[in-house]
Amino acid sequence: MLDQKLIRENPSSVEESLSLRGKVFNISPIHELTIKKKEIDIEISNLQSESKKLSKLIGQEINKSQNNNSPELDNLKKKGNEYRIKISEFEEKQRILDKQINNEINNLPNFPSKDAPIGKNESNNVQIKTWGERWITDNLKSHWEIGESLNLFDSIKSTKISKSRFITLVGNGAKLERALINFMLDIHNKNGYLELMPPALVNSESLKGSGQLPKFSNESFKCVNDDLWLSPTAEVPLTAFHRNEIIDPNQLPIKYVAYSPCFRREAGSYGRDTKGLIRLHQFNKVELYWFCDPRKSQEAHKKITSDAESILKKLNLPYRLVDICTGDLGFSSSRTFDLEVWLPSSQSYREISSCSNCLDFQARRSSIRTKIDKKNTYLHTLNGSGLAIGRTMAAILENGQQTDGCVKIPDALVPYFGTNVLKTA
């Protein structure tokens, strides 16, 4: 959530910053509401001040008067009652305006960082570096072809269970998924992350706090009879874990890692990646999340990205690091570094982690603060996949495929999987 005071005092600066996203943002209606809200705040403050003065006069009149029903006292009490009525009326107007303003501001995205590349879409993203040796050759099998030949998953039978874009992992496929989850959690735990396993169902306030609502309601699955949604990412419950708290600065940074199933409608992406593990309605992910001192979030952003990178390096999967341009940033992000893993069957890189610095955007929406110089200050939040499990499996299958149809398991994963080769049973 953007700062209401900033919108009220410097609307042109707000519009200018938001325009870096490649769209025109007219915040005049919100600006007018914030001015009305400020006028009402001042009016309430003045009335409360006058009411306090009047209360003192009433007390003095009672002390000096033997008769509590004197005309002077009656007049003072009558005036005090008028103040209370006026204050109540203005407070109701204040509540209505607060709701209107929050509804409007909740639809505004975060300010792009001044350090992010300027651009309109993903074609303007900037490659920072590549790592590993890409496998470039013809006639390589895709991960879903390998998965079918090794009987690792079944999408056809899954449609009987739910519908399309869901998948059932079978045998070694389920074993490999479990091995990857445990491997990633162990690595991040050794790097100082505290493991959480949050609920898979989250309420609307949690989704609003992280920025998924109201903007992305059509992307999530909702339970009809409850104020509960299937979590689209562990970022949602991890943000909400400290909602409405003031965190001791001596505890910062707080670093969490969480495995969670994720559920997304993937609206608007039909026809893309309908086969295999890349774009499913349900998938598993290991999420990294930081709450940190706002003065140190740029440094934290580099570290959380490096921690996600370490998984790809340990699995010896070629990847590249990309600086996301202002027009391609996620709703809550101020700056994002994407990690894209190499998939040799398509001779292309595919996103496997987005590491984002959200500054105080989510903390303001969730009322998460810390103390800096004895003053309550919104802290900064950062998140990144460490990694998306299905896409990691896809990359292992494609980069590890052998001429005899088997798949070589990365050395670091062997202790978790139990063997160095994946083959038909």
The three-state (H, E, C) secondary structure of the chain, written as one string = CCCHHHHHHCHHHHHHHHHHHCCCCCCHHHHHHHHHHHHHHHHHHHHHHHHHHHHHHHHHHHHHCCCCCCHHHHHHHHHHHHHHHHHHHHHHHHHHHHHHHHHHHCCCCCCCCCCCCCCCCHHHCEEEEEECCCCCCCCCCCHHHHHHHCCCEECCCHHHHCCCCCCEECCHHHHHHHHHHHHHHHHHHHCCCEEECCCCEECHHHHHHHCCCCCCHHHCCEECCCCEEECCCCHHHHHHCCCCEEECHHHCCEEEEEEEEEECCCCCCCCCCCCCCCCCCEEEEEEEEEEECHHHHHHHHHHHHHHHHHHHHHCCCCEEEEECCHHHCCCCCCEEEEEEEEECCCCEEEEEEEEEECCCHHHHHHCEEEEECCEEEECEEEEEEEEEHHHHHHHHHHHCECCCCCEECCHHHHHHHCCCEECCC
Burial classification of residue 159, based on how many CB atoms lie within 10 Å of its CB (0-12 exposed, 13-18 middle, 19 or more buried): middle
CB contact set of 99 (below 8 Å; sequence gap of 6+): none
- Answer yes or no: are the C-beta atoms of 304 and 384 closer than 8 Å: yes
Per-residue confidence (pLDDT) for residue 271, from 0 to 100 = 54
pLDDT in the model for residue 77: 76
* Domains 4-105 and 122-422 alike in fold: no
- pLDDT given at position 329: 97
List, in sequence order, every residue forming a beta bridge with 195; answer none if it has no partner: 257
Pick 4-105's CATH classification: 1.10.10.10, 1.20.1250.20, 1.10.287.40, 3.20.20.20.
1.10.287.40
Counting as low any pLDDT under 50, the low residues of the chain are none
CB 194 within 8 A of CB 255: yes
Whose tokens are 């570094």? That residue is: 337
How far is the C-alpha of 375 from the C-alpha of 266, rounded, in Å? 42
**pLDDT (0 to 100) of residue 418:** 96
* pLDDT at residue 266, rounded to an integer: 76
CB-CB neighbours of 120 under 10 Å: 13
pLDDT digits (tens, 9 = 90+) for 256-313: 999 999 999 875 555 556 688 988 999 999 999 999 999 999 999 999 999 999 999 9
- Asked: is 122-422 a CATH 3.30.930.10 domain? The reply is yes
So what's the pLDDT on residue 379? 97
Quote the CA–CA distance of 84 and 179 in Å, as a whole number: 65
The answer to whether 32 and 127 have CB atoms below 8 angstroms apart is no
- The pLDDT tens digits for 56-90 are 777 676 666 665 666 777 777 788 788 889 999 99
Q: Which residues, including other chains, have CB under 8 Å from residue 202's CB and lie 6 or more apart?
A: 228, 229, 231, 236, 237, 240
- What's the pLDDT score for residue 327? 96
Beta partners for 350? 341
- Domain boundaries along the sequence of the chain: 4-105, 122-422
Peptide bond into 387 cis (omega under 30): yes
What's the pLDDT score for residue 113? 97
**pLDDT reported for residue 393:** 97
Average pLDDT, the chain: 93
